[in-house]
Amino acid sequence: MMREESIRIPFRFAAGRAGSRMLAALRDDKQILGSHCPVCVRTLAPARPFCPECGGENLKTVELGSGAVLVSWTDMPGRGLFALVRPDGADTAMIHKLLGQSGDFHIGARLRAVFAAERRGHIADLQGFEPDPGSAA
Ligand SMILES: [Zn+2]
């Protein structure tokens, strides 16, 4: 006989230099940061301390746009929509929430970032992405 349960394990860890800089930018400037790798010549989202492709640590922090393109998403019942979104200016996608109903979205859709009114230096300061009504995509 099997039992299926879930457990909650809260934990804290240091965000690191790149992560801390990104969280501060979300809180203070409603700005999403990425990292540009000069070796791979690509910009990663979100900001990180090293390039996962070449391992290089000489990354330059760059400001990404608040617009984005929807790469993929899934509906997690009871938890909402989670997506891979590629912020403007980035070559890679990041995981975050979609704000809306599944029928509001399609792959390739233009999105815009939604920030919390009160921000505290947490990834939830970026509440998620919603359809960009100013886009014809
Ligand atoms: Zn690289």
Residue 49 CA to ligand 1 center (angstroms) comes to 11
Q: Which two tokens stand for residue 46?
A: 């979100």
Residue 98 CA to ligand 1 center (angstroms) comes to 29
Q: Which two tokens stand for residue 87?
A: 């912020």
Phi, psi of 59, rounded to the nearest 5 degrees: -95, 150
For the chain, the domains span 16-131
- Please report, in tens digits, the pLDDT of each residue of the chain (137 residues total): 999 999 999 988 898 999 999 999 999 999 999 999 999 999 999 999 999 999 999 999 999 999 999 999 999 988 999 999 999 999 999 999 999 998 999 999 999 999 999 999 999 999 999 999 887 54
CA 78 to chain centre: 20
Report the distance separating Cα 6 and Cα 124, nearest Å.
22
Report the distance separating Cα 65 and Cα 34, nearest Å.
10
Residue 19 CA to ligand 1 center (angstroms) comes to 18
**The pTM of the whole model exceeds 0.75:** yes
